[in-house]
Structure 1
Amino acid sequence: MFVRTVYVTGDPTKIDTAIRALNTEGRELLEERPGYRGAGVFVDRDLGKLLGVSWWETAEARQNSDEVMRGRRDALLGPFAGTLTVENFEAVVYQPLQPPRMGGGLRVTRVEFDPADADLVAETFRSTVLPRLETLPGLATTGLLIDRERGTGQVGTLFVDRDSMVVSRAGQAAARHEGVAKAHVSVVGLEEFEVVHTDVHVG
């Protein structure tokens, strides 16, 4: 599958307005597009950060949908958005284990690597990191998104509740340390979000 992320920062007091817009009109617009496979909305209410993620059957479907969504983002995100960044990725690993829950937690690890090492990064995640992550209590879903041309990626770990996410920090840190060493990856960001909505169909 292919993924588009929309990363927005703004006034924390206005974030609920953006959430409502994405969960109503925004979701309706996405569901109308061919090749749509699901979406998620994740927030950090304290700092005023919002991460929107949409999933697509093909890169072409993702691109075609962006032509529609690009013209609607300013209106949907309204007074909240101070900055907005859109990125595109390939989902090279996606492992659902149990249904996520609203109010759960998402940890995002942002990475950079030599584009020539893209396959090494994917294989290391599958063989080394994924088996360790799957042992973490409360893990709902995990996956690796990469941009092969730019040499950037994100590891997403979704937990059924915030307590499970907090408890997992040491375990995931150990898995991250091992994976980084084997795959020649640099970690450039580590963030945690509240799950507002997520629904992805992979079948």
Structure 2
Amino acid sequence: MFVRTVYATGDPALLDSALRVLNSQGHDLLEERPGYRGAGVFVDRELGKLLTVSWWESEEAQVNSDEVMRERRPALLEPFAASVAVEHYRVAVFHALPRPVVGGALRVARLEFDPRDADLLADTFHASALPRLETVQGLARAALFLDRDRGRGTVGTVFTDHRTLSASRAAQSAIRRSVTAKAHVTVVALEEFDVIHADPHTL
């Protein structure tokens, strides 16, 4: 499975206008694209950040959708977005528990690593991090996305509510420390978002 992430920042006061358009016109555009398999929408209302993650059954489907979405994206995100960054990843690990996520919260860790260590990172996350994450109260979904060529990745963990997200910070910090040491990874950013929308079997 492949994902495209769109990360936009702008005036917090204009964020809701972008969400309304994304939830109507943006959703319809994605549904029309062959190979589309779902999406998630996440926000930080205080700072004015918007993250969308669309899932695709193949790299070809993802690439084919890029041209249409590239043309339409500016209009969808106006007048909110002052900056927009688009990235592409392959899903290395995805794990979902039967728990609700809408109304919950997402934590994102952005990673950098030597491309030669991509397999080491994926194996370490699956064998070491995932079993420990499953014991953290409130965890609903966990995923590792990798861009092997550029040596970049993203770990996303969704919690059922903000209380469990807050309570998980120490435990997840310990897990990150262990994984980054074993897999030779650097965490370059750590962010938290509200979950606005998340299709089943996606982040």
Sort the TM-score into its range (normalised by shorter chain).
over 0.9
Whether 1:133 and 2:121 are equivalent positions in the alignment is no
Q: Structure 1, residues 135-176: CA drift from partner, whole Å, max 9, x if none?
A: 111111001000000000000000111111011101100100
Whether 1:19 and 2:7 are equivalent positions in the alignment is no
Counterparts of 2:104 and 2:123 in 1: how far apart (Å)?
A: 28
Partner of 1:96: 96
Partner of 1:69: 69
Partner of 2:196: 196
Judge conservation of contact 1:111–1:185 (CA < 8 Å) in 2. yes
Identity %: 61
Judge conservation of contact 2:34–2:61 (CA < 8 Å) in 1. yes
Gaps of 5+ in 1: none
Counterparts of 2:7 and 2:183 in 1: how far apart (Å)?
A: 26
CA shift, 1:200, in A, is 3.9
Partner of 2:187: 187
Whether 1:161 and 2:154 are equivalent positions in the alignment is no
Q: How many residues end up aligned between the 2 structures?
A: 202
Counterparts of 1:30 and 1:153 in 2: how far apart (Å)?
A: 24
Counterparts of 1:22 and 1:99 in 2: how far apart (Å)?
A: 25
Judge conservation of contact 1:100–1:198 (CA < 8 Å) in 2. no
Counterparts of 1:51 and 1:57 in 2: how far apart (Å)?
A: 20
Whether 1:115 and 2:140 are equivalent positions in the alignment is no
Which amino acid counterpart does residue 189 of structure 2 have in structure 1? G
Judge conservation of contact 1:100–1:141 (CA < 8 Å) in 2. no
Partner of 2:145: 145
Which amino acid counterpart does residue 165 of structure 2 have in structure 1? M
Q: Structure 1, residues 48-96: CA drift from partner, whole Å, max 9, x if none?
A: 0000100000011001111111111111001100000000000010001
Deviation larger for 180-189 or 18-27? 18-27
Counterparts of 2:183 and 2:100 in 1: how far apart (Å)?
A: 29
Judge conservation of contact 2:101–2:158 (CA < 8 Å) in 1. no
RMSD over aligned Cα atoms: 0.9
Counterparts of 2:102 and 2:17 in 1: how far apart (Å)?
A: 18
CA shift, 1:103, in A, is 1.7
Counterparts of 1:28 and 1:96 in 2: how far apart (Å)?
A: 25
Counterparts of 1:109 and 1:201 in 2: how far apart (Å)?
A: 20
Counterparts of 1:138 and 1:28 in 2: how far apart (Å)?
A: 31
Counterparts of 1:10 and 1:31 in 2: how far apart (Å)?
A: 26
Judge conservation of contact 1:105–1:193 (CA < 8 Å) in 2. yes
Judge conservation of contact 2:9–2:84 (CA < 8 Å) in 1. yes
State the TM-score, normalizing by the size of structure 2.
Answer: 0.97
CA shift, 1:101, in A, is 2.7
Counterparts of 2:76 and 2:197 in 1: how far apart (Å)?
A: 16
Gaps of 5+ in 2: none
Judge conservation of contact 1:37–1:200 (CA < 8 Å) in 2. no
